[in-house]
Amino acid sequence: MAGQLQITEELSDYVRTVSLREDEILRSLREQTAALPMGTAMQVMAEEGQLLALLARLIGARTIVEVGTFTGYGTLCLARAVAPGGRVITCDIAERWPLIGVPFWREAGVLDRIDSRIGDAADVLATLLLEEGPGSADFVFIDADKPGYPKYYEAALTLLRENGLIVVDNTLFLGRVADPAAGDADTEAIRAFNAMLGEDRRVEVSLLPVADGITLVRKL
Ligand SMILES: C[S@@+](CC[C@H](N)C(=O)[O-])C[C@H]1O[C@@H](n2cnc3c(N)ncnc32)[C@H](O)[C@@H]1O
């Protein structure tokens, strides 16, 4: 059995060449985001956006919740993939980032499918639970502050229907999770979250060593 392939820059370029289908609207949003301080680091990779869309379509997601909008690249990928009549509810604590995404969402013709909320994700998720009820979401994408992950995950699991999908971003955290010298709060938070998830028998889990680490969680 072959081991885990080490991804070089050349291989990443190759993958993009043969499989990335990023249109002009997404590319413009990515370029505008890249001009922001930390823009490239904060935004989902284009390949990841494409994977999110594929997963959403695969499960026929109608109600999608995104925790951490930033400039809305992932939001746009998800909004295009949502089933007819469905929507993406996305939240961010900072108003200025989602505002950058709005013209791109409009240009792509999906603005009416996006419910963009500003506020702390824990509060937004609690409100959603009251508004929509448990089991109302098909897909939750968690991609905000790392210490908040356990809270967001628990709320997401309650919001999610049986067989629904949670996708958690940055679960390898720049590879720092496996570096004993890395003891910063974010790395520790991700390590604790991954360890908790590994033991959580309410779900089926797969941690993909893709992008910055993407964990797929199916609610049993
Ligand atoms: C990694 S970025 C999200 C990237 C985005 N999903 C994308 O597709 O490009 C993380 C975002 O989480 C937001 N954030 C941080 N703490 C938050 C909190 N407590 N509640 C809601 N959003 C938060 C940040 O403002 C930032 O925009």
> How far is the centre of ligand 1, averaged over its atoms, from the C-alpha of 67 (Å)?
7
Q: Where exactly are the structural domains of the chain?
A: 46-219
Is 68's C-beta closer than 6 angstroms to any atom of ligand 1? yes
User: Which residues are bridge partners to 142 per DSSP?
Assistant: 67, 168
pLDDT tens sequence for the chain (220 residues): 678 899 999 999 999 999 999 999 999 999 999 999 999 999 999 999 999 999 999 999 999 999 999 999 999 999 999 999 999 999 999 999 999 999 999 999 999 999 999 999 999 999 999 999 999 999 999 999 999 999 999 999 999 999 999 999 999 999 999 999 999 999 999 999 999 999 999 999 999 999 999 999 999 9
Q: How many CB atoms lie within 10 A of CB 217?
A: 24
Q: Could you tell me the maximum CA-CA distance found in the chain, to the nearest angstrom?
A: 49
- The beta-strand segments (E) located in the chain are 63-67, 87-92, 114-118, 137-142, 160-169, 203-208, 214-219
Please, is 23 exposed, middle or buried when counting C-beta atoms within 10 Å of its C-beta (0-12, 13-18, 19+)? exposed
Spatial contact of 82 and 62, defined as CB atoms under 8 Å apart: yes
Q: Which atom of ligand 1 is least distant from the CA of 94?
A: 25
CATH class of 46-219: alpha beta
Is 144's C-beta closer than 6 angstroms to any atom of ligand 1? yes
CA distance 97 to 71: 5
Ligand 1 atom 27 nearest Cα: 70
Is 44's C-beta closer than 6 angstroms to any atom of ligand 1? yes
